[in-house]
Each structure stands twice: as structure tokens, then as C-alpha cells.
Amino acid sequence: MLVSEEVKVREAILAKGRSRANAIVKDAEKRAEAIIAKARKQVEDYRRMEIEKLMKKIEAERIRRISSARFESRIKVLEEKNKIIDSIFKDAVSHIVSNIRSLEWYPTFLRKIASASITTLGLKEVVVYASKEDLKLLMEMKDDVIEDVKRNLGFTPFITFKEANGLNIGVKVSSIDGSIAVDNSLETMLEKLRPKFIMLIAKTLFGE
């Protein structure tokens, strides 16, 4: 073999070696790229999963807190409505108590509650208590009251009218010995009718 041929062979062997070396490095570089790409994907997957988890948690929290706020809101509105209704009922009671005597139908009203109270008691002898002012009116309508009761009970009751201190409007009717009584003072009547009036006020104000 000539020297030049020896060099050629040597170069060929080395070139093959270099080529193999290049391939090894290139492979390594490809694997390195793949390792990095995998890491990036791992981070991206982690991010997507964690965001999904967080959003689910937040949505549950949102539903819980919004529901609670809506419930609180409904309660607040309801409480406010009740306050308004109560306040108007109180105003109405106060207005009625202050003005009822000036209304043209008041005498009839008084007569009716006196007759109804005596009828409810159902006794032949009763005492009707009223304020001085109402007593005067009742005395004027005594015959009408007796007639009403007679029509209801079928007998003529014996009625004693007495002034009652502390009774403003309306009547209280009791047996002679006071053991049984019917309280139809205006304040008591209005309090008894309170549930009906509350419903009426709610319907008129808020259509409920």
C-alpha cells in the first residue's frame, strides 16, 4: 500500500468514526429535545388540570355564596315587607281609634257590636260596659239593641248599662256576677282581626 492510500484509508476510517459520532450526538440532541418537550407538556397538562380543578371549586363556591346571598336577600325583603305591613297596621289602628267616632256609621257599628256581644254570651241578664260617651249612644239605641238580641236569641234580655273606666271605644259584656264576659273593645277587636288585616294590607300593597 502506498502512503497516499494509507492516508486515504485512515481518513475513511476516521470519517466513518466522525459520522457515527455525529449521529450519536444528533440522536442525543433529539432525545434532549424530546425530554424538554415532554417536560413542557407535563407543565401544560398540570396547568390545564389545576385550572380545571380550581374552576370547579370556584363554581361550587359561587353557587353556594350566590344562593346564600339570594336567600339572605329574600329574607331581608320579606322582613322589610312585614315591617311595613306592621307599621301600616299600627297606623290604621291608631287612625281608626282616633277617628271612628266621627264616622257616620259609628252608632250602627256600636249597636252591632253590643248586640253581637250579648248574643255571644247568650244570657238573659247581662251587664254592658262602655265609656261615658258610648254609653250615651247605647242608651239612645237601647231598644234597637234589645230587638237585635231578641231576634237572635228568641228572648228579651235584661240589660244593665254601666260606665267602664279605661274602656275607650266598644263594649265589654259580662254576666251579672262577672264570671263570664265578652270583650269587644275596639282595640281587642282589631287585635283579633289582625291576621285578616295583615293579609288585606299585604295584598293591597304588594299584591300578595
Partner 1 sequence: MSEEKILEVLEEASREAEKIIADAYRKAKIIEKEAERKASEIIESGKKAVEKELKELEKKELRKIEREIRKIMNETEKTIKKLHEIALKKREAVINQVTETLKEMVIGDAGE
Considering only residues 20 to 49 of the shown chain, the ones binding partner 1 according to CB under 8 A are 20-22, 24-25, 27-29, 31-33, 35-36, 38-40, 42-43, 46-47
List Cα–Cα distances, 85 to 95, 103, 121, 199, in angstroms.
15, 24, 34, 9
Q: Which is nearer to partner 1, 99 or 160 (CB)?
A: 99
Tell me which residues in 48-67 interact with partner 1 (CB under 8 A): 50-51, 54-55, 58, 61-62, 65-66
Q: Nearer to partner 1 by C-beta: 18 or 124?
A: 18
Cell numbers 291608631 label which residue? 94
Among 6, 147, 191, 208, binds partner 1 (CB under 8 A): 6
Q: Least distance from C-beta 179 to partner 1, angstroms?
A: 26
DSSP H helix total and E strand total for the chain: 6, 4
Stretch that binds partner 1, among 122-130, 135-143, 149-157, 196-204 (CB under 8 A): 196-204
Which of 168, 183, 188, 197: binder of partner 1 (CB under 8 A)?
A: 197
Q: Which is nearer to partner 1, 24 or 176 (CB)?
A: 24
- Give the type of residue at 162: K
The three cell numbers of residue 116 are 253581637
The bridge status of strand 170-175 relative to strand 125-130 is antiparallel
Give the one residue of 76, 124, 132, 162 binding partner 1; rule: CB under 8 A.
76
How many C-beta atoms lie closer than 10 Å to residue 146's C-beta?
16
Minimum Å distance from CB 59 to partner 1?
9
Grid coordinates 249597636 are at which residue? 111
157-186 residues near partner 1, rule: CB under 8 A: none
Q: Which cell numbers hold the place of 24?
A: 450519536
Q: Using the 8-state DSSP alphabet, how is residue 169 labeled? A: S
Buried-exposed string 109-143: b where 16+ CB fall within 10 A, e elsewhere = ebbebbbbbbbebebeebbbbbbeebbebbeebee
Identified binder of partner 1 from the candidate list 56, 70, 124, 151, rule CB under 8 A: 70
Measured from the CB atom, is 156 or 204 closer to partner 1? 204
Window 103-162: residues binding partner 1 (CB under 8 A): 103, 105, 108-109, 112-113, 116
List, in sequence order, every residue forming a beta bridge with 128; answer none if it has no partner: 161, 173
What is the residue type of 15?
A
Nearer of residues 66 and 176 to partner 1, judged by Cβ: 66
Element (H, E) at 161: strand 158-163
